[in-house]
């Protein structure tokens, strides 16, 4: 069994940004030489998420508008008494999910026709990591 680990780094220009990372995950899987297995892709910071959905800019805007409605910024959150101002980012990432498991078959990501992997940043403008842990057989 192979276990291979890599980390993707992000430092977004905007506070909130959605970034497609399918190709970066695929590259880690190729390097791992796993033929059959899984890749865990997981945000290591608690105001960011990782999710699988459509690569369509309109839908990405819909997600952002929707998240603002379900988990608005600017409310008097208790968390802000610590000096933080990002409680909404913790909630938004909870809705999107913070990790996905991508199946690997025949040495490639086994994704459906429209599945793309995204990093969702909700409190960016600083360096953050995503772990990619690949496990399987050669």
Residue recorded with tokens 């690949």 = 134
Report the nearest approach of its own copies to the CB of residue 11 (Å). 15
Identify the CA nearest to 94 among candidates 128, 33, 49, 45. 49
- Nearer to its own copies by Cβ, of 16 and 45: the residue is 45
- DSSP, collapsed to helix, strand or coil, labels residue 109 as strand
**Gap between the Cα atoms of 11 and 106, Å rounded:** 33
Report the nearest approach of its own copies to the CB of residue 13 (Å). 21
Query: DSSP string covering 10-67, please?
Result: E--SSSSEEEE-HHHHHHHHHHHT-SEEEEEEEESSTTEEEEEE---HHHHHHHHHHH
Report the nearest approach of its own copies to the CB of residue 125 (Å). 17
- Footprint of its own copies (CB under 8 A): 1, 3, 5, 36-38, 40, 42-46, 51-54, 56-59, 61-63, 66, 70-71, 77-82, 87, 90-91, 94-101, 103, 105, 110-115, 129, 131, 133, 135-137
Report the nearest approach of its own copies to the CB of residue 105 (Å). 6
- Nearer to its own copies by Cβ, of 33 and 59: the residue is 59
- Nearer to its own copies by Cβ, of 23 and 110: the residue is 110
């Amino acid at each position: 069994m192979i276990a291979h680990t890599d980390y993707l780094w992000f430092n977004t220009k905007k506070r909130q940004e959605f970034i497609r990372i399918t190709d970066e995950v695929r590259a880690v899987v190729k390097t791992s030489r796993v033929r059959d297995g899984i890749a865990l892709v997981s945000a290591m910071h608690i105001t960011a998420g990782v999710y699988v959905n459509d690569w369509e800019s309109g839908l990405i805007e819909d997600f952002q508008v929707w998240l603002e409605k379900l988990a608005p910024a600017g409310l008097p959150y208790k968390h802000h008494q610590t000096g933080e101002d990002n409680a909404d980012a913790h909630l938004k990432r909870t809705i999107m999910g913070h990790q996905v498991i991508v199946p690997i078959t025949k040495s490639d990501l086994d994704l459906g026709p429209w599945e793309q992997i995204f990093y969702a940043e909700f409190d960016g403008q600083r360096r953050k990591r995503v772990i990619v842990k690949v496990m399987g057989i050669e």
